[in-house]
Structure formats: C-alpha cells, structure tokens
Amino acid sequence: MFKKIALPLLAAFALLVAALPQAWAGDGVHRLVMQVNDNDAARMNLALNNAANLDAYYKAKGEELVIEIVAYGPGLNMLVDGKSPVQKRVTSFGQNFDNITFVACGNTLRKMSKKGTVTLLPEAKMTEAGVVHIMERQEQGWSYVRP
C-alpha cells in the first residue's frame, strides 16, 4: 500500500521541482544574454542591431524584454573608451534603452590592464567573468544568442 501512495507522490514532487524554474521565469519577461567575443566591428554592430530589432519587436507586441550584451576576450574592445568601433552606438543605447545593458568581463579587463590603463565606457557594468555570467544566465532560464 505504501508503494502505491509513495510512488505517485514522489513522481508528482519530482515534476513540481522540475517545473519551478519555469514557473519563476514565467513572469512574462523575455530575457536574452548575448555574447560578443570578437574584436570585429561588423559582429558588434550585428549584436546591437539584433538588440534594437528585438526591442522593437517586443515593444510592438506590448511585451517586456531584457537584454544583456556580455563582452569578453577581444570583444571587450566594444566597451573600451577610445578603442570601441561602436562607441557612439553604445552611448546611444545607454541613453535610449533602459532594458539593454552592457556587461564587461573583469578577467579580460585585468589582462588588458597589464599593458596599460584601460577605461571602460560608462555604459559598461562589470562582472567577474563574462563566460561564467553567460552560463549562469542560461542556468536561470535566459535565452542565449551569439551574433
């Protein structure tokens, strides 16, 4: 008798635990983490274009969207003052999109700083490690895109 009751309860509990992350993420907000790890103006512009297009798409549908663009490795140049080939666009995004943020990799910044002072754009927020940040966002249910 115990097995007849325990097994269905155990199965129901397992399903509930498996569904919890989706329930927490089911607040109607679309979340996207995007990586930039190439020092390539075309790829950086593609990431910015994707972000702007997604913003317009979900605004037209009346739905909320949050985007984080994470720059690491050679892609950190996207967020370096005076070196970024898309600096004007990043500044414009910072002024015009409250739902799109730029995240700079602390590991890459430390390595770049060994060669001299590196100043990030004011729009950049720091994270300890860019790849870890992306991985953790995916574990939290965020969608992932590499333009």
**For 6-30, how does the pLDDT look when each residue is reduced to its tens digit (9 = 90+)?**
444 444 444 433 444 443 457 899 9
- Count the helices and strands in the chain (H runs, E runs): 5, 5
Taking a C-beta distance cutoff of 8 angstroms, is the pair 92, 104 a contact?
no
Confidence of residue 36 (pLDDT cuts 50, 70, 90): very high
Reported as a pLDDT band with limits 50, 70 and 90, residue 1 is low
- Predicted confidence at residue 5, as pLDDT, reads 53
CA distance 84 to 23: 39
Q: What pLDDT shows up at residue 26?
A: 72
CA distance 31 to 65: 6
pLDDT at 31 over 60: yes
pLDDT at 64 over 80: yes
pTM across the whole model: 0.82
Domains of the chain: 28-145 (3.40.1260.10)
- Edge-first strand listing for the sheet containing 124-127: 124-127, 100-105, 64-71, 29-36, 143-145
Strands (E) in the chain, as ranges, are 29-36, 64-71, 100-105, 124-127, 143-145
* Separation of alpha carbons 3 and 96, rounded Å: 60
Measured CA to CA in angstroms, residue 70 lies from 26, 38, 54, 74, 101 at distances of: 23, 11, 16, 12, 9
The pLDDT tens digits for 75-85 are 999 999 999 99
Q: Three-state DSSP class for 134?
A: helix
Q: Which residues partner with 68 through β-bridges? A: 33, 101
Q: Which of 5, 94, 90, 88 is nearest to 48 (CA)?
A: 90
The tokens describing 38, both together, are 């190439």
